[in-house]
Amino acid sequence: MSLTTTPERRSIVTGVAPERRRRRNARTAVESYAFLSPTLILLFVLMIVPIVMVIGYSFQDNVILKKSSHFVGLSNYVEILGNGDFWRATANTVVFCAASVVAHLVLGLGFSMMLNSNLIGGLSRTIFRALYVLPWLFTVAVIAVLWRMLLDPNGVINYLLHTKTEWLASPQLALGTVIFINIWAGYPFFMVSLLAGLQGIPADLHEAAAIDGAGPLQRFWNVTVPQLRPIIVSLVLLDFIWTSQQFALIWMTTGGGPINVTEMLSTFTYKLAFAKYDFSMASTSAVLVLLMSMVLAVFYVRHQNKKD
């Protein structure tokens, strides 16, 4: 019996194989999308639909509370961009974010380097690590109540300083005070992340730099910082996004006051919606905040892509 195949038989065999591969690939694709479908549906319902609705509301007037809503085009955007309170909230948000992120980085890096050094023993390192990470264990509500009690005119801070200062009610001090509280609450995130990065730097790099005659400061700038740069950039961008959306801490400590000195974009938008019940303008403000956050998100994604 001959084992050779005719050209016709070979053409049939070679035609069947690609068809089977196509069917197998199609079946694999269907199965993959079937597994992803619950997540995609939730993403669509809980994220895409609300965002589209808010964008739609920003181009209308008298939404939600009244049935007589109508399309107004860009009028809401023109009105809110001409609102001085919006720009005051924007300026406060920028100052609040910039000061908080810089302080988070400086404190987080300083504490992480101290905990990673050989200058303190194992027991002391454990105690300091527990103390430094303590603010991260509290919820925002607890932090707000704690600091409102500490900063009360009859609280511990004023008792130690022998003053009766209204830290959260003074137009001159309120913004700086909430920035300080946010710094205290947020630096452990940087500290823990940078400590993990420091522990991943090979000791050989520092030893080689020391052999070459580099001092502690030179080793810091030429070894430590370059090794931590990807982590630092990611942390700064993420912290800027998170801090720009901070609402609970501001609302529970000052409510945006006094006289709007601590008004942030988050509290400004909230008041438009639930104090003035102007959901059209609140939606417009929310869209503008979303656009600002997307700028930071783009930088973060580009940074992550460069790392890959």
Average pLDDT, 10 consecutive residues per value, the chain (308 residues): 52 60 79 83 89 93 82 93 95 96 95 85 80 87 94 93 93 96 94 92 86 87 91 92 92 93 95 92 94 86 73
Question: Which pLDDT belongs to residue 6?
Answer: 57
Does 70 reside within a domain?
no
Question: Which pLDDT belongs to residue 249?
Answer: 95
Contact yes or no for 180/151 (Cβ under 8 A): no
What average pLDDT does the chain have?
88
CA 293, CA 240: separation in Å to the nearest integer? 9
DSSP-derived secondary structure for the chain: ------HHHHHHHHHHHHHHHHHHHHHHHHHHHHHHHHHHHHHIIIIIHHHHHHHHHTTEES-SS-S--EE-TTHHHHHHHT-HHHHHHHHHHHHHHHHHHHHHHHHHHHHHHHHHSSSS-HHHHHHHHHHHHHHHHS-HHHHHHHHHHHTSTTSHHHHHHT----TTT-TTTHHHHHHHHHHHHHHHHHHHHHHHHHHTS-HHHHHHHHHTT--HHHHIIIIIHHHHHHHHHHHHHHHHHHHHT--HHHHHHTTT-STTTT--HHHHHHHHHHTS--HHHHHHHHHHHHHHHHHHHHHHHHHHHHH-
CA 305, CA 252: separation in Å to the nearest integer? 38
Owner of token pair 């052999």: 211
Residues 46, 90: one domain?
A: no
Residue 27 belongs to what domain range?
A: 7-57
Residues 15, 89: one domain?
A: no
Does 131 reside within a domain?
yes
Does 159 reside within a domain?
yes
Residues 208, 91: one domain?
A: yes
Residues 120, 35: one domain?
A: no
Does 167 reside within a domain?
yes
Does 71 reside within a domain?
no
Residues 49, 91: one domain?
A: no
Residues 121, 164: one domain?
A: yes
CA 229, CA 133: separation in Å to the nearest integer? 22
Over residues 108-149, the pLDDT tens digits come to 999 999 888 877 777 887 888 888 888 888 999 999 999 999
Whether omega before 258 lies within 30 degrees of 0, making that bond cis, reads: yes
Residues 52, 97: one domain?
A: no
CA 250, CA 144: separation in Å to the nearest integer? 8
Q: Which two tokens stand for residue 281?
A: 């303008």
Residues 111, 217: one domain?
A: yes
Residues 247, 159: one domain?
A: yes
Does 265 reside within a domain?
yes
Question: Which pLDDT belongs to residue 1?
Answer: 46
Contact yes or no for 190/103 (Cβ under 8 A): no
The torsion angle over the Cα atoms of residues 215, 218, 220 and 222, rounded to 10 degrees, is -140
CA 56, CA 50: separation in Å to the nearest integer? 10
Residues 236, 120: one domain?
A: yes
Residues 292, 163: one domain?
A: yes
Domain-terminating residue out of 57, 73, 94: 57
Residues 192, 51: one domain?
A: no
CA 153 from chain center: how many Å? 33
CA 137, CA 45: separation in Å to the nearest integer? 32
Does 65 reside within a domain?
no
Over residues 25-65, the pLDDT tens digits come to 778 778 788 888 888 898 888 889 999 999 999 999 988 87
CA 76, CA 58: separation in Å to the nearest integer? 7
CATH number of the domain that 203 lies in?
A: 1.10.3720.10
Overall number of domains in the chain: 2
CA 104, CA 98: separation in Å to the nearest integer? 10
CA 16, CA 29: separation in Å to the nearest integer? 20
Owner of token pair 């005070």: 177
Does 63 reside within a domain?
no
